[in-house]
Structure 1
Amino acid sequence: MIPYEPEDEIQIVEKWKKIRDKFEKDNMNEAIKEVNRIEAKDRLLVRFLNVVHSRKDDLPFTDDILQSGFSSLRELWSSFCDQDASTADERFPAFANEIEQKLELAITTRKETLSQPY
């Protein structure tokens, strides 16, 4: 029979505490990264919506005829979000410029279509 020594139990408990603490720290770090990623995505979404909303008077998004265009904007936003989150802030100005160009094209097309006689 192996002799029981309280020091062994203390060492085992201390090892488990260290393992548990490391696990909790790793989980907390992952959670912090996820929160930061979500917050960055939210900030970018606000910027995206500001770009789109700035043209709401020229391009009413409530018209059924524009639903496909609105879906395209959502898909464009979704594809932007699916890319590397760590470079999203740096990539956003080019993305916003692309959105503005697409909106300008949609507005021009709409105005030309509405101005044509039937």
Structure 2
Amino acid sequence: MNETAERFFKNRCISTEMDLNPYVVQAAELIELADDEVNRLAEKNIDRLQHEVAWSILHDMYKKCHEFTSGALATFLIAHIGSAEALCRTAVESAVNLHYASCGDDVGNVIAYFRNYIATERGQNKT
């Protein structure tokens, strides 16, 4: 196992001593590599990004998506299959929301995202 995949397991206190499927190891590595790249690009471009109105919200949305994805794999590894399945659905929904919010008019899209979220929550809380 390479050190990138190993970092995934160590950051989540999951033993690397167990017999791991190569696909699981590769998934852990890809999750970490993607996060490394996002962090590298954000750091490289922070002087410009800090002046973008929606930057911090979009970055927070990305971080949530990353944690949902990581959590799905981690819960799968500890045999909580139902929780892993729910987190997979949440991760996909989160990724779709991030994609929607970041394409085109990001400020308008973020505002629309929150308006829709609030309207949905209000509707669900009335019943």
TM-score range, shorter chain: 0.3 to 0.5
TM-score (norm 2): 0.31
TM-score, normalised by the number of residues in structure 1: 0.33
The higher-RCO structure (CA 8 Å, 6+ apart) is: 1
Structure whose alpha-carbon radius of gyration is higher: 1
